Amino acid sequence: MSGFGKCKMRTPYHITDDLLLFSMYLYSFGRCFSCHRGDQMFTLGSWNPLWSQRSCMLMALLMISLREEAAVSGNETRPNFVLMMVDDLGIGDVGCYGNHTIRTPNIDRLAQDGVKLTQHIAAAPLCTPSRAAFMTGRYALRSGLGSTGRVQVVLFLAGSGGLPPSEITFAKLLQRQGYSTGIVGKWHLGVNCERRNDHCHHPNQHGFDYFYGLPFTNFNDCKPDEGKDVLADLQEALWDLSVLAGLAMATLVGLRARGLLEISLKVIALLSALSLLGLTAWYVPFELLATWNCIIMRNQEVIEQPTVLGTLTQRLMGEAERFVERNQHKPFLLFLSLAHVHTPLFVSKGFAGKSKHGLYGDNVEEVDWMIGRMVDVVERLGLAENTLMYFTSDHGGHIEDADARGQKGGWNGVYRGGKAMGGWEGGIRVPGVFRWTGQLPAGRVIDEPTSLMDLYPTLVTLAGGELPQDRVLDGHDLMPLLQGRVERSKHEFMFHYCGMYLNAVRWHPPDSDAVFKAHLFTPNFSPEGAGGCYDTKICMCHEGFVTHHHPPLLFDLARDPSESTALSADTEPRYAEALRRVAEAVEAHRKTLTPVPDQLSWANILWKPWLQPCCGTFPFCSCSEATATAGQPA
What amino acid positions are annotated as catalytic residues?
Answer: 127, 188
- Point out which span in 85-93, 94-102, 168-176, 372-380 binds Ca ion (CB under 5 A): 85-93
Task: Decide whether 109 or 408 has the Cβ nearer to Ca ion.
Answer: 408
For residue 131, the minimal CB distance to Ca ion (Å) is: 8
User: Of the listed pieces 83-91, 164-172, 313-321, 539-547, which binds Ca ion according to CB under 5 A?
Assistant: 83-91
Q: Provide the minimum distance between the beta carbon of 128 and Ca ion in the complex, in angstroms, as a whole number.
A: 9
Give the Å distances, CA to CA, from 276 to 231, 273, 284, 535.
20, 5, 12, 30
Residue type, position 556, single letter: D
> Is the Cα dihedral 107, 111, 112, 118 positive or negative?
negative
C-beta of 180 vs 392, nearer to Ca ion = 392
Q: How far is the CB of 126 from Ca ion (least distance, A)?
A: 7
Distance in Å, CB of 127 to Ca ion, minimum = 4
Distant-in-sequence, close-in-space partners of 418: CB < 8 Å, separation ≥ 6? 90, 125, 396, 397, 398, 399, 400, 409, 410, 412, 424, 426, 427, 532
Residue whose C-alpha is closest to residue 62's, from 29, 19, 16, 14: 29
Using left for φ > 0, alpha for ψ between -120 and 50, and beta otherwise, residue 98 falls in left
- Three-state SS annotation for 84-134: EEECCCCHHHCHHHCCCCCCCHHHHHHHHHCEEEEEEECCCCCHHHHHHHH
| Nearest CA-CA partner of 125 in 87, 85, 170, 93 | 87
- CA pair distance 101, 506, nearest whole angstrom: 32
Stretch that binds Ca ion, among 88-96, 512-520, 522-530, 555-563 (CB under 5 A): 88-96
Among 59, 78, 80, 87, binds Ca ion (CB under 5 A): 87
Q: What's the min distance (Å) between Cβ of 394 and Ca ion?
A: 4
Contact 390, 115 (CB under 8 A): no
Q: Specify the stretch interacting with Ca ion by CB under 5 A; choose among 18-26, 389-397, 402-410, 528-536.
A: 389-397
Let me know: does 85 contact 394? Beta carbons within 8 Å.
yes
- Contact pattern from residue 114 through residue 153 relative to Ca ion, giving x for each residue in contact according to CB under 5 A and a dash for the rest: -------------x--------------------------
By CB under 5 A, tell whether 401 contacts Ca ion.
no
- Does residue 94 bind Ca ion (CB under 5 A)? no
Contact criterion met (CB below 8 Å) for 436 and 425: no
- Considering the rule CB under 5 A, would residue 394 count as an interface residue with Ca ion? yes
d(CA 141, CA 598): 9
* CB of 228 or CB of 471, closer to Ca ion: 228
Q: Is the dihedral of CA 407, 411, 413, 415 positive or negative?
A: negative
Which residue sits closest to Ca ion, CB atoms considered?
127
Shortest distance, CB of residue 139 to Ca ion, whole angstroms?
Answer: 17
The whole-angstrom separation of Cα 539 and Cα 545 is: 8
Tell me the closest approach of the beta carbon of residue 309 to Ca ion, in angstroms: 17
Interface with Ca ion (CB under 5 A), residue total 4
Amino acid at 511: D
Q: Which is nearer to Ca ion, 221 or 394 (CB)?
A: 394
The distance of closest approach from Cβ of residue 194 to Ca ion in the complex, given in angstroms and rounded to an integer, is 27
127/338 with CB nearer Ca ion: 127
Residue of 76, 88, 93, 401 that binds Ca ion (CB under 5 A): 88
Q: Pick between residue 430 and residue 481 the one whose CB is nearest to Ca ion.
A: 430
The length of the chain in residues reads 634
Q: What contacts 259, CB < 8 A, 6 or more positions away? A: none
Strands 546-556 and 516-523, how do they pair?
antiparallel
Which of 4/390 has CB closer to Ca ion?
A: 390
Count Cα atoms within 13 angstroms, Cβ side, for 415: 33
Cβ atoms < 10 Å from Cβ of 588: 10
Between 87 and 563, name the residue whose CB sits nearer to Ca ion.
87
Smallest distance, Å, CB 124 to Ca ion? 10
Output 113 or 401, the one with its CB closest to Ca ion. Answer: 401
Q: Which of 450, 416, 417 is nearest to 431 (CA)?
A: 450
Using CB under 5 A, list all residues that contact Ca ion.
87-88, 127, 394
